[in-house]
């Protein structure tokens, strides 16, 4: 069965520090890969996505992610974190074909110290 | 272009009641998916509708149902509410042939 693992439940970083959030998936083929962010009481906003091609993808708010097929990973990075980045981050995989079902990790809660 | 809208934003019900949630997708999007988000289980896929037909379904009991109208608006219904149905229900829409989904703000359902 397909699954997504986000090993870090909670991460605290200082403002201006770099950030890496980990995501590993289990799926027989290369799925669609997504990172979403959720602020308290809000819906989900798409940060970036990988469908095919260049394995380093750029997203909004200065985020990037790298797809590594050999490690079944899609880690999210940001070189310098801002206090406004404090939120919950979710990694999700989508199945290829005529299927919109997304399988989600349990999320990583990011706190930013001033 | 307006985003995905969901109504109501908040809802309080008691056990045994039923509830209907509404979702209006982004204009031109014909696929609407529903997700349940709880602290314990995270985000779980409920179902997807496309052109008024349920195209995919998650592992939820039959008390959870949905439908889609000709204008792509969708509703989901939960009958015989249980305490465990308390959750944030999120709706997402997408273009046909595009896997990217856009989410609404959600409906927070509390079952007492």
Task: State chain B's maximal CA–CA distance in angstroms.
Answer: 40
CB contact under 8 A, A102 and B35: yes
Reported as a single tens digit per residue, the pLDDT across B13-39 is: 999 999 999 999 999 999 999 999 999
CB contact under 8 A, B102 and A46: yes
Reported as a single tens digit per residue, the pLDDT across A42-57 is: 889 999 999 988 999 9
Query: Look-up: residue for tokens 């602290």?
Result: B39
Angle ∠(A109,B107,B20) on CA atoms, nearest 5: 150
Cα atoms in the 13 Å half-sphere on the side-chain side of B44: 15
Contacts of B39 by beta carbon, 8 Å cutoff, 6+ apart = none
Strand partners, B63: none
Q: Tell which residue, A82, A60, A76, A65, has the closest CA to residue A13.
A: A82
Enumerate the residues of chain B whose CB falls inside 8 A of the CB of residue A49: 99-100
A108's tokens:
């990583």
Residues of chain B with pLDDT under 70: none
Of the listed ranges A24-28, A61-65, A66-70, B27-31, the least confidently predicted one is A24-28
Q: Cα distance from B92 to chain A (closest Cα, Å)?
A: 9
């Amino acid at each position: 069965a397909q699954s997504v693992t986000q090993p870090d439940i909670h991460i605290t970083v200082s403002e201006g520090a770099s950030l890496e959030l980990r995501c590993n998936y289990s799926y027989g083929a290369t799925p669609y890969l997504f990172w979403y962010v959720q602020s308290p009481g809000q819906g989900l906003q798409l940060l970036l996505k990988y469908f095919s091609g260049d394995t380093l993808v750029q997203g909004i708010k200065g985020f990037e992610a790298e797809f590594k097929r050999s490690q079944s990973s899609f880690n999210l990075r940001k070189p310098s974190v801002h206090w406004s980045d404090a939120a919950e981050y979710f990694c999700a995989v989508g199945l290829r074909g005529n299927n919109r079902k997304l399988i989600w990790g349990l999320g990583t809660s990011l706190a930013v110290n001033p | 272009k307006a985003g995905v809208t969901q109504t109501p934003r908040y809802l309080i019900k008691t056990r045994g009641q039923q509830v209907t949630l509404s979702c209006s997708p982004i204009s031109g999007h014909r696929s609407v998916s529903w997700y349940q988000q709880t602290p314990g289980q995270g985000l779980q896929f409920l179902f997807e509708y496309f052109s008024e037909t349920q195209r995919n379904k998650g592992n939820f009991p039959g008390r959870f149902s949905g439908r889609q109208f000709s204008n792509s608006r969708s509703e989901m219904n939960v009958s015989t509410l249980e305490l465990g149905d308390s959750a944030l229900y999120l709706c997402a829409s997408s273009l046909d042939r595009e896997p990217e989904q856009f989410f609404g703000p959600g409906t927070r359902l509390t079952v007492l």
